[in-house]
Structure 1
Amino acid sequence: MYVEESGQGPDWVIFEAGGGCGRTCWDPLLPQLAGTARLVAYDRAGRALSGGTTEQLGIDDLAADLVAMTEAVVPGEFVLVAHSMGGLVARRAAERLGSRLRGLVLVDPTPETSPVYDTWDRTPRKIDRALAVTQALSRCRPLARLFGGNVRPLFSADTYQAMLAENFTPAGIFQTRKEMQAVAAAIPQFRAQPPQLPKCPTFVLSAARAAKGRERQNASMNEHQRRYADSLPDGCYEQVDSAHFIQAGQPQLIATRIKQLLQPTT
């Protein structure tokens, strides 16, 4: 597992990327916190600079990896920040992290209660077929740049080039297919027996800007994110003027929420 540490300070913040992404998706946010805490971003097994794996890892496996990484790297308490699919991983990991988890920030997560998962038994097959075509075509680098065009305006040139080299490659897209399969397998389990609710203070940040044609779906997602936050012992829901990659659209806001979680309790 490839881990990058940056920043300085007595506190620690761990970052869990969303599906199809590695550590680089947090690049816009890290400078906002560099003088506040030690920052740890990593690539999940099989992703980007981490070693490849032939196994089909599930969400529980990825959560176990996250817990093991924190035990190896972080000496005490920390704040965990997770984006999108990473929210499923973080919530499962939170069950095992206990008092070490100082706070949790879920960045535009997709709760298992969302109607988007109601037809999830069919959706992954469609996504996988599309990704299989993308995987084959990504061997042609001009086409790979085309596939990565949606993230290009959101990130710096250096970050975009790293994403292009690590995620929009045949190996990177193959790993994304495996991550989508992990989500497909996890949703029935999460619906039947949801993870224990995090006992730590938790921010649920919801992207208010919908992709064109997905306004109704996004509004439904926002509502289920709000309901999840309301169910928490110490949860706070916040709608953010941003698209899905809030860490790129509103990095200062996320940094402010993390700093709130790092403040000593009285």
Structure 2
Amino acid sequence: MRNVPGRRLMVNGTEIYFEESGAGDAWVVFESGAGAGRTLWDRVVPLLADVAHTVAYDRAGRGRSGSAAEPQTIDDMAATLVALVETLAPGRVILVGHSMGGLITRRAAETLSPAGLVLIDPTPEAAPSYDDWAPTAKKTDRILAAQQALSRCPPLMRLLTGSYGRKFPADSYATMLAEDFTPAGLAATRHEIAAVSAAIAEFRHRPPQPPKSGVIVISATHAARYQARNLDIMREYQRRYAEQVGGQYEDAVSDHIIPAEQPEQVAAAVRRLVTA
């Protein structure tokens, strides 16, 4: 398993585990998507060591962080991100969010006013795919519940998650197997999917204020078979969001896990905002 030094910090009553690296006046703080922790960024972080001080962390209930007293909403997660940034990152801050992390970083940006946002295949809550998402959320939860039961057999989980083993370094994948693809890790993922489901209506009713800084949206050009039917709609609404906030939109020749498949592209986007 990977052996990267980290620290713990009490944030809003929960012990949050994070890892720092790099140096520079700018700070880059990463927010993972549902089901992922700090290891999602293992292929991106080393590419920024010469230009920024980076922070990757596990949300409450994930990886090496403690569990919150109550299941977290997206706004709760955003409040944790805000507190973490205010404590750790006194300089210019770039927030980088993947998938669900896009919702979290956009809400946190209302308070933090970061120097830039990089949104990687972010959840576009305005897309009509989410008009009646409850059945999909229930189906997803049933699948995750089955995986949670199967995760008690590590060889089986290794078989089920083999695509991650092909995308990530071996030590990163071993850490994911030990932290994310476990009964506790999959329970946390189920809570996060429920949080996204609840946040869709909230974000439509009270969307985050447009960021007052540069925004780059990176959109995956292909998807897993069960996601493919909504791919064009999701990409269109990601593009619309970028246009709405005066940001940049770019394609990534990748599936949803862009930080693993196109880490150089993610790092290049962050560098543009760091040096802007």
TM class by shorter chain equals: over 0.9
Secondary structure, in 3 states, of the residue corresponding to 1:67? helix
Query: Counterpart of 1:34 in structure 2: which amino acid?
Result: A
Match of 2:29 among 1, 11, 14: 14
Pair 1:244 & 2:256 matched: yes
Instruction: Give unmatched runs, 5+ long, in structure 1.
Output: none
Match of 1:122 among 135, 138, 152: 135
Q: Contact between 2:43 and 2:260, CA under 8 Å: does it hold in 1? A: yes
C-alpha separation between the residues in 2 aligned to 1:196 and 1:203? 16
Aligned CA-pair RMSD: 1.2
Q: Which residue of 2 aligns with 1:81?
A: 96
Deviation, structure 1 residue 133: 1.6
Secondary structure, in 3 states, of the residue corresponding to 1:151? helix
Deviation, structure 1 residue 219: 1.2
TM-score normalised by the chain length of structure 2: 0.91
C-alpha separation between the residues in 2 aligned to 1:45 and 1:257? 27
Deviation, structure 1 residue 54: 4.2
C-alpha separation between the residues in 2 aligned to 1:82 and 1:129? 26
Query: Counterpart of 1:82 in structure 2: which amino acid?
Result: G
C-alpha separation between the residues in 1 aligned to 2:38 and 2:108? 18
Pair 1:69 & 2:104 matched: no
Pair 1:259 & 2:274 matched: no
TM-score normalised by the chain length of structure 1: 0.95
Q: Contact between 1:147 and 1:168, CA under 8 Å: does it hold in 2? A: no
CA gap 1:181/1:225 in 2 versus in 1, 3 angstroms: same
C-alpha separation between the residues in 2 aligned to 1:239 and 1:261? 17
C-alpha separation between the residues in 2 aligned to 1:246 and 1:192? 29
Pair 1:153 & 2:172 matched: no
Instruction: Give unmatched runs, 5+ long, in structure 2.
Output: 1-15
Deviation, structure 1 residue 206: 0.3
- The size of the alignment, in residue pairs, is 261
Q: Which residue of 2 aligns with 1:196?
A: 209
Q: Which residue of 2 aligns with 1:165?
A: 178
Deviation, structure 1 residue 78: 0.7
